[in-house]
Amino acid sequence: MDTFEELVSFASDGRITKKVIKVNGRPSTKKRHELTENAILSGAIVPRGVFGKNTQSNFVWDHWETKAEHQIGVIAYTAVGFNYPDGKTKYELKVTGRIFHDDSAGYLIRAESSSIGPPGYAFGEVRTETNFASVSLSDRALILPTTSIMTTKIGKRLYRGEYQFLNYRKYETDTAVRFEQER
């Protein structure tokens, strides 16, 4: 099993840049690896498969759980998703999942999702579980993804990706332009 450390940056205009920092604990010299699935990134932040345009999402109350003396509300959902694995052919996906909300703390703690395509779809079931926690970023406490696991079945093979979201940082710069009178 290989491990990869990747730096992912989000720009305010929506661009995402990815750079592999280490492979198996050693600095990487390779220009590009396709490591982090865009589905993991978008699903961890705002899952388009649930909240996107034309998803036909349906949310229903599931149940209450108690964990470490916290009341956890569980909401189940169904939605219609779409994927173009070859870039041309559109497949409609059946999306199901659950959202776990810590009622005591007042924030999201986990999201689970499963996508199943129709016959002929390149992938079998794709399952994602993402955990969230309070993270300090620019002197603010934000609820952000901390770990995610994605399993994908392709033919008879099962692929599993484990992701950790670490070292959240906000980079910003201030610029001042001054004009002086010409002498």
The domain tally of the chain equals 2
Q: Are residues 6 and 55 in the same domain?
A: no
Model confidence at 100, pLDDT cuts 50, 70, 90, reads very high
Report the share of the chain in percent with pLDDT over 70: 79
Residues 147 and 113 grouped into a single domain: yes
Same domain, residue pair 25 and 50: no
What residues have CB less than 8 Å from 122, skipping those under 6 apart?
Answer: 85, 86, 154
Q: Model confidence at 131, in pLDDT bands (50, 70, 90)?
A: very high
The amino acid occupying position 21 is I
- Specify the residue for token string 């392709």: 154
Residues 127-139 have a mean pLDDT of 86
Helices (H), the chain: 38-45, 48-51
| 7-60 residue pLDDT tens | 777 666 767 777 777 888 888 776 555 555 555 555 566 566 677 677 788 899
Same domain? For 134 and 112 the reply is yes
Residue 139, sorted as left (phi over 0), alpha (psi -120 to 50) or beta, turns out to be: left
DSSP string, 39-87: HHHHHHHS-HHHHSTT---EEEEEEEEEETTEEEEEEEEEEEEEE-TTS
pLDDT at residue 93 is higher than 90: no
Same domain, 59 and 23: no
Q: Is residue 1 one of the residues assigned to a domain?
A: yes
How does pLDDT run across 149-177, given as a tens digit for each residue? 888 888 888 888 888 887 777 666 666 67
Both tokens of 136, joined, read: 């300090």
Residues 54 and 1 in one domain: no
Whole-number pLDDT of residue 44: 60
Residue 112: pLDDT band (50, 70, 90) is very high
pLDDT of 5 reads 75
CB 64 within 8 A of CB 73: yes
Is there a single domain that holds both residue 11 and residue 69?
A: no
Residues 56 and 114 reside in one and the same domain: yes
Q: Same domain, yes or no, for 74 and 112?
A: yes
Task: Evaluate whether residue 145 is within a structural domain.
Answer: yes
Region of poorest pLDDT, from 22-36, 95-109, 126-140 = 22-36
Q: Which domain holds residue 156?
A: 46-164
Question: Looking at the structure, do residues 121 and 156 belong to the same domain, yes or no?
Answer: yes
Average pLDDT rounded to a whole number, residues 118-131: 86
Residues 29 and 64 in one domain: no
pTM above 0.95, yes or no: no
